[in-house]
Amino acid sequence: MKVLVLYDYPPSPGGLATQGDLLYRGLLELGIDAHAAHFESAQEKEWYYRWFEPDVVVGVGYWGHSPQLVLHPQRYGVQPVPWLVADGYIANYQEVLNALPLILVTSNWVKEMYVRDGINADIIEVLPVGCNTDSFIPFSKDDPKILAVREALGISPDQKMILTVGGDAASKGAQEVMQALAIIDTKAPDWKYICKVWPQPRTKIQNLSDLQMATDLGIEKNVFYATNTISRNFMPYLIGACDIYAAPSRLEGFGMPQVEAGACGKPVIGIRAMGLLDTLVHGETAFLAKVAQKIVANEVVLGDEAGFEDTHRVTFRVPRTVDYRANVHDIAKYLLLLMNDQELCEKMGKAGRKRVVEKFDYRIVAKRFVQIMHDKLGIS
């Protein structure tokens, strides 16, 4: 089997790049003849098509990347298999996607979204995102690298560190977490809430809005936004430094940081919806807050990024749920429980680690990919 993997290569620290890179690494470790290229590099992709002659081109992205992941390989007679996430609504490329023999998606919820929006369920297979369980491991609290992270963030040894990681924090449920922390502030042990976000223009406004909420709630002294650029090498130690990983996401097709937190043996707080229903087990590896609100849209405005002309308006016959909000009181209850019960934290962390190793290790995902290629496309 010869596989060309398309993603943000060489990999940036983002989720899609990590998703593609771990598959590529897993395939190489299995002895598969594989190469990687940037999904937007037309010249390099064509170069691989011509001399490598891959059996399949697997591309990581979302439906809006269909021109790069599907149409470009097809132009050169190569079989594309997109590995897609969802952003709440699949607005275009249904005809292109339905003509494929196989589409991979990251969770059962993502599959539901594609089927809801017109993609044939029979051609969709769920392939979860891999996790490097050799890097994301439980660390000792006395590990110098863990102590250094906490010291750099100004967290004392007796403080409880709650962590959320994302491109921005609000989409990962940080505002709901802050509201929950404000509810339990006077009852809880000393705590600090760290939001690690990526430095990009779109997040600056959101960060300011989040920090204003913290001020309005009176917890601003306990909330810290880390906006530095960091590598994937640092992520295990950042997660390893926390006591609780909290991300009841508003939109989540898989939940890579939640899975990585489980691999590090950390209890997780999520939301009882979307991709987290695949990755987390309520009461065993995580606490999942109930859905308090579904944000519904009657129409969307799209542009060139979605394959339309600018300001193209799509009106739904049936309103679509495009966002979720977790129940703040559930989050507060679970935070207080975990902050006061170290034995429960350790038990939940061990169960989370076991689940990730057994189901989401990147080598297991690579083996599953190879099996799907054999079963669905007859490629060996």
278 burial via Cβ count (<10 Å: 0-12, 13-18, 19+): buried
Which tokens is 132 given? 């490097």
Q: What percent of the chain has pLDDT over 90?
A: 87
Q: Tell me yes or no: is domain 2-130+361-377 CATH 3.40.50.10140.
A: no
- Asked if 83 and 60 count as a contact pair (C-beta separation under 8 A), the reply is yes
Q: What mean pLDDT is predicted for residues 354-373?
A: 98
User: CB under 8 Å to 115, separation ≥6 — which residues?
Assistant: 121, 124
Under the banding of pLDDT at 50, 70 and 90, the label for residue 304 is confident
How many angstroms separate the CA atoms of 331 and 319, rounded? 28
Under the banding of pLDDT at 50, 70 and 90, the label for residue 311 is confident
Q: What is the pLDDT of residue 92?
A: 87
pLDDT over threshold 90, residue 214 = yes
Q: Are strands 291-302 and 312-326 parallel, antiparallel or unpaired?
A: antiparallel
Q: Which of 4, 16, 92 shows the shortest CA–CA distance to 304?
A: 92
Q: What is the pLDDT of residue 297?
A: 86
CA 222 to chain centre: 26
Q: What is the pLDDT of residue 177?
A: 98
Q: What mean pLDDT is predicted for residues 301-310?
A: 77
Alpha-helical regions (H) of 37-186: 42-51, 66, 72-75, 94-98, 108-116, 144-152, 174-184
Under the banding of pLDDT at 50, 70 and 90, the label for residue 307 is confident
pLDDT over threshold 90, residue 138 = yes
Under the banding of pLDDT at 50, 70 and 90, the label for residue 55 is very high
Sheet with 244-246, side-by-side order of all strands: 223-226, 191-197, 160-166, 244-246, 268-271, 286-289
Q: What mean pLDDT is predicted for residues 9-16?
A: 92
Under the banding of pLDDT at 50, 70 and 90, the label for residue 338 is very high
Give per-residue pLDDT as tens, 219-228. Answer: 999 999 999 8
Q: What is the pLDDT of residue 298?
A: 87
What kind of architecture, by CATH, is found in domain 144-290+327-359?
Answer: 3-Layer(aba) Sandwich (3.40)
How many angstroms separate the CA atoms of 348 and 322, rounded? 31
Q: What is the pLDDT of residue 86?
A: 87
Q: What is the pLDDT of residue 202?
A: 77
- Asked if 35 and 20 count as a contact pair (C-beta separation under 8 A), the reply is no
Q: What is the pLDDT of residue 322?
A: 84
How many angstroms separate the CA atoms of 295 and 286, rounded? 24
Phi, psi of 95 (to 5 degrees): -65, -40
pLDDT over threshold 80, residue 60 = yes
- Asked if 67 and 97 count as a contact pair (C-beta separation under 8 A), the reply is no
The more confident residue out of 311 and 263 is: 263
Specify the domain boundaries for CATH 3.40.50.2000 within the chain: 2-130+361-377, 144-290+327-359
